[in-house]
Chain A
């Protein structure tokens, strides 16, 4: 159980184009999903918190207009990198929060999307 999928797993695009990444919780409903960015040999950096039916909460320094997040249902969140540039090349990872007993969530992660902008 608690499987999260992410699509695509790898994408190469030209500078200036937009790329959409999908994150789905396959066997549970996730009120909250998170989007992270990870640079090589570094830890995960939280970009935004996405709640179903409401606007995403972005971390300081993350451009809202550049990284558009939509959480249309309890099982799907999308991240769109608009007008991508080479510096946006990175590994993007989503997670879906499974609410269990005890007043906290456990985040289950998708397999990640490797974005390369030429």
Chain B
């Protein structure tokens, strides 16, 4: 069984602060994929990143960075110099590897972290 835990239900920061959203996962698969999605107040989930379990390199994209540590089963997300527009619910998700002949990979979502960035 797969499980994703986002222990932080709500986080509130002041603009320009750095903030880290935690994600811990459980899986028996040796190969899997991790995702982060952003859900702003409008409701649409926006894809942020996909990471293969073989690739433990950290990734940076502008103000966003991700720290994947297989040893602790964590895939944390850091926003540097936060902005009001970053206010949203952020979901971490996990999916197994599938062969090309099988149907689309299911996502197991965490409960989400509500981030509020105050001016």
Contact = CB atoms under 8 A, between A and B. Distances in A.
A111 B43 contact: yes
Given A2-B47, A34-B106, A106-B50, 7 more contacts: A49-B103, A51-B103, A97-B104, A99-B100, A99-B104, A103-B100, A109-B44
26 contacts: A30-B104, A32-B104, A33-B104, A34-B106, A43-B110, A43-B111, A49-B103, A49-B104, A49-B106, A95-B45, A102-B52, A103-B97, A103-B98, A104-B50, A104-B95, A104-B96, A104-B105, A105-B95, A105-B104, A105-B105, A106-B47, A107-B104, A109-B37, A109-B46, A111-B44, A112-B43
Given A43-B111, A104-B98, A106-B35, A97 B43 contact: no
Contacts, number: 75
Interface in B9-48: 31, 33, 35, 37, 42-47
A30 B105 CA distance: 12
Contacts of B105: 97, 104-105
Contacts of B109: 43-44
Contact of A108 (B47, B103, B106): B47
Q: Identify whether the interface residues of B are mostly helix, strand, loop, or mixed.
A: loop
Contacts of B91: 43-44
A91 B50 contact: no
Given A31-B104, A97-B105, A110 B35 contact: no
Contacts of A91: 43
Most chain-B CB neighbours within 10 Å: which of A95, A102, A104? A104
A13 interface: no
A97 B104 CA distance: 6
Nearest to A93: B45
B81 interface: no
A2 B37 CA distance: 14
B119 interface: no
B97 A31 contact: no
Contacts of B44: 109-112
